[in-house]
């Protein structure tokens, strides 16, 4: 089994084991202790899984996300990207109206929640979401591009990182959905890791006119790992490589990013990561 497949399997295992732990203990303090003992590289995945479990319990009991809000504002604050994705898992699983659930959270994080909805539907409603390419009725129209980002992320897992299969799947979607799907692939590839430089360059080539979206996805993965203090060599390497290879195609970059030896170029790189996240927040209607 290749390195990337081993990491995919580890991520799935961490997610499932966390669900099992919470179902058996149902105690936030015990849960946080468990999460903090997860190896650093996969810790945010455990926090995401716990977020889904806590949100599901709140939503099923009509508790207004009270426990989930305590969890995300306190113990899980450093993992906010994954925690909001986990809420999206819960919304999609229960097929609840999106806006009715998220009205108590920061609107700038709606797109992370919608991403989680897309990942869940792409993974667990495969025929409906991937084969039939249906959009969910529980999401507002203006947030569908972020749903597709999550669907794109799911393809990296459900296709077991098979690049040819993934490209074929994406090409089967309407062209206006492809950009967001490729952005989701970028997030998954950079976050999971395990790909060598040749594979990363091949992916960028296959993305064709959507290569900048693939690069944006890697930037989002880097930002979430930086915020959670879980950065890996693979995530950083992927983001930097794609950044360098696509720099000439974007207007935000004024320096040659291939040379990361100067403080000035480092600032350009990190500022770009910030701009990507802020740009996406402002790119959809909620």
pLDDT attached to residue 268: 83
pLDDT given for residue 286 in this prediction? 62
Residue 229 is assigned to a structural domain of this protein: yes
Question: What's the pLDDT score for residue 1?
Answer: 61
The C-alpha atoms of residue 49 and residue 22 are separated, in whole angstroms, by 10
Please report the pLDDT score of residue 101 as a whole number: 96
The residue ranges of the chain whose pLDDT is under 50 are: 251-261
Per-residue pLDDT at 263: 63
Task: Name the domain count of the chain.
Answer: 1
**Nearest residue to 148 (alpha-carbon basis) of 209, 215, 193, 88:** 88
- CB–CB of 223/236 below 8 Å? no
286 in a structural domain: no
Looking at residue 126, its pLDDT comes to 96
Query: How many CA within 13 A on the CB side of residue 59?
Result: 21
Which residues span the domain enclosing 144? 3-281
Question: Does residue 151 lie within any of the structural domains?
Answer: yes
pLDDT of residue 283: 76
pTM of the model: 0.93
The answer to whether the CB of 182 falls within 8 A of the CB of 220 is no
Pick the closest to residue 86 from 131, 22, 142, 166 (CA basis).
22
Cα–Cα dist 262/214, whole Å:
25
Report whether 47 contacts 19 (CB < 8 A): no
The answer to the question of residue 103 being in a domain is yes
């Amino acid at each position: 089994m290749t390195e990337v497949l081993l990491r995919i399997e580890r991520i799935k295992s961490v997610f499932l084991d966390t669900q099992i732990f919470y179902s058996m203990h149902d105690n936030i303090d015990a849960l946080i202790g468990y999460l903090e003992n997860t190896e650093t590289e996969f810790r945010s995945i455990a926090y995401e899984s716990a977020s889904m479990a806590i949100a599901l319990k709140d939503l099923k009991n009509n508790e207004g996300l009270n426990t989930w809000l305590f969890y995300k504002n306190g113990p899980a604050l450093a993992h906010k990207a994954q925690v909001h994705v986990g809420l999206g898992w819960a919304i999609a699983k229960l097929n609840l109206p999106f806006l009715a659930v998220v009205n108590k959270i920061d609107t700038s994080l709606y797109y992370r929640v919608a991403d989680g909805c897309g990942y869940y539907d792409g993974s667990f409603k495969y025929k409906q979401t991937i084969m039939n390419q249906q959009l969910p009725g529980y999401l507002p129209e203006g947030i569908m591009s972020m749903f597709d980002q999550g669907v794109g992320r799911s393809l990296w897992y459900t296709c077991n990182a098979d690049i040819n299969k993934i490209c074929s799947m994406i090409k089967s979607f309407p062209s206006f959905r492809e950009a967001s799907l490729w952005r989701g692939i970028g997030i998954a590839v950079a976050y999971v890791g395990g790909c060598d430089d040749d594979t990363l360059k091949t992916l960028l080539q296959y993305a064709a006119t959507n290569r900048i979206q693939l690069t944006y996805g890697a930037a989002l993965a880097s930002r979430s790992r930086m915020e959670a203090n879980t950065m890996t060599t693979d995530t950083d390497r992927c983001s930097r490589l794609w950044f360098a290879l696509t720099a000439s195609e974007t207007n935000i970059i004024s320096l040659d990013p291939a040379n990361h030896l100067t403080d000035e170029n480092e600032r350009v790189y990190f500022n770009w990561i910030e701009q990507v996240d802020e740009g996406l927040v402002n790119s959809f209607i909620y």
